[in-house]
Amino acid sequence: MRVTRTRLGVFTLLALVLLAPGCGGGHAGTNAIPDGRMATVKSVSPASIPAPPMARTAILPSSAMTSVRTPQSAIAPLGWTQLPGGGIFVAASPDGSIWVLSNQGPGPDQSIWHYANGNWSNISGGATRLAVAPDNSLWAVTAAGGIYHYTGSWTQIAGGASDISVGPDGSVYVISNQGGGPFGRGAWRYTNGAWTALPGGGVRVAASWDVGTYLGNITPGTLWVLNTPGDLWYWNAAFGFHNLGGGGVEMAPTSNGGIFVLGFPQGPNGYPLWYNDLNTGTWTPQSGGGISIATDSAHVYAIGKAGGIYSTPLGPPGPTPTPTPPPGMLQASVNSLVFSGTGATFSQVISVSQPSYSGPFVLSGLDTTVATAHIVSNLISVTPVAAGSTSLTVTGGNGQFVTIPIGVTTLSVPVQ
């Protein structure tokens, strides 16, 4: 049985209260950030933390992995094919191969295995989290926080990380292992050799490779975050953080309009598997469960609680996502405002518009001793206060702005 593109429901976690099954999270993409759950977390830049040494393990033969095979009852069998071997973590590569952390090692850093064309191969080293880049190179985080890049040999990058993901442009995203608060630790982006702190914080991060645009301002370049209570958030530079309305412990966004999540509560086979169709913003349960989840453009991979490694095809793509055209030129209904008196009686309303952009529009630059302004949607009400001159700048999408000169030439008694 194939995993269909139905919506996968995750029990919503709010303040650590689990909702009952059947109450899958509604789409909260238009909601502002509530109660500080995604406030920026202060943390130390990974650049300032030397990478702890990675263990240099002996390379094992493929038989060390293929001799491990857990019963298929470790995961719901319908639609899933079990692969040879056992693990605790899986990361999918764009070339159709997978990387797995073995479940056979004694310490927190487990041996690293590559499964391609039906064969397992082991590389030296150990890690606790993995991520794969668009060029199929491997990134790893160790138990001590070391960040490493593998391109046939390991390169030390930095330290201070607890989770890692790679975006479609090759940017690396990590969650710090330093400091933090009740909702998680700081998030950082590594691009062109430089580290940049990101807003928010959490415990798990996943960069989306999806080029579509979906409900709630989910756009290309979206970053997915799970925080300490398990709340699922998404962030992009244009719209900031929003809560999707579900929760879980692990996540795997697809490249065609969805996200898989291992939700709550934990059962004998691990955490239940759910799916959100971002075209509609609703959740539905899927067969299976586990402790680790990953996707590529064609498959979903899961590891069951007992260590079994499973694969199932993704269903056919959903509706073609709406492309996101760049915002056009911002225009205002007037070029200037001139008032002959003060007070509400003399107020004027102007409108602004911008193709392919509906807001929000931001007001700035106004001297409020001369005039005040209030905006609702794209309508701006300007009220003269006292004789003088000023200007109002309205900023829209893509950095477009218009500046409207304002003059108040005659004082009159304000109308209350």
Most confident of 114-128, 169-183, 273-287: 114-128
- Do 125 and 224 lie in one domain? The reply is yes
pTM: 0.68
Please count the structural domains in the chain: 2
- Do 338 and 299 lie in one domain? The reply is no
Convert the pLDDT of each residue in 374-398 to its tens digit. 999 899 999 999 999 999 999 887 7
- Give the single-character DSSP code of 304: -
The DSSP result for 389-413, as a single string, is: EEEEEEE-GGG-EEEEEEEE----P
Contacts of 18-24 spanning 24+ positions with Cβ under 8 A:
18/264, 18/265, 24/246, 24/274, 24/282, 24/283, 24/284
- Do 268 and 346 lie in one domain? The reply is no
Asked if the structure places residue 326 within a domain, the reply is no
Q: Are 290 and 304 in contact (CB under 8 A)?
A: yes
> For the residues 98-122, what does the mean pLDDT come to?
91
% of the chain residues with pLDDT over 90: 53
Residue with the bigger pLDDT between 398 and 48: it is 48
Give the CATH number for residue 359: 2.60.40.1080
- pLDDT at position 161, please? 96
- Do 287 and 377 lie in one domain? The reply is no
Does position 106 have pLDDT exceeding 70, yes or no?
A: no
Asked if the structure places residue 8 within a domain, the reply is no
Supply the mean pLDDT for the chain: 82
- pLDDT at position 25, please? 35
Residue 140, strand partner residues:
130, 148
- Give me the domain span that covers residue 395: 331-408
Backbone Cα Rg of the chain: 26
Task: Please name the amino acid found at residue 285.
Answer: P
- Give the single-character DSSP code of 49: S
Measured over the CA atoms of residue 143, residue 221, residue 171 and residue 292, the dihedral's sign is: positive
- pLDDT at position 316, please? 55
- Do 335 and 309 lie in one domain? The reply is no
- Do 363 and 257 lie in one domain? The reply is no
- Do 289 and 344 lie in one domain? The reply is no
- pLDDT at position 69, please? 59
Q: Which of 259, 285, 313 delimits the end of a domain?
A: 313
The DSSP result for 332-376, as a single string, is: ES-S-EEESS-SGGG-EEEEEEBTTB----EEE---TTTEEEEEE
The pairing of strands 119-127 and 110-116 is antiparallel
Residue with the bigger pLDDT between 119 and 26: it is 119
For 165, the token pair is: 């993901």
For 208, the token pair is: 């989306």
Asked if the structure places residue 394 within a domain, the reply is yes
- Do 299 and 354 lie in one domain? The reply is no
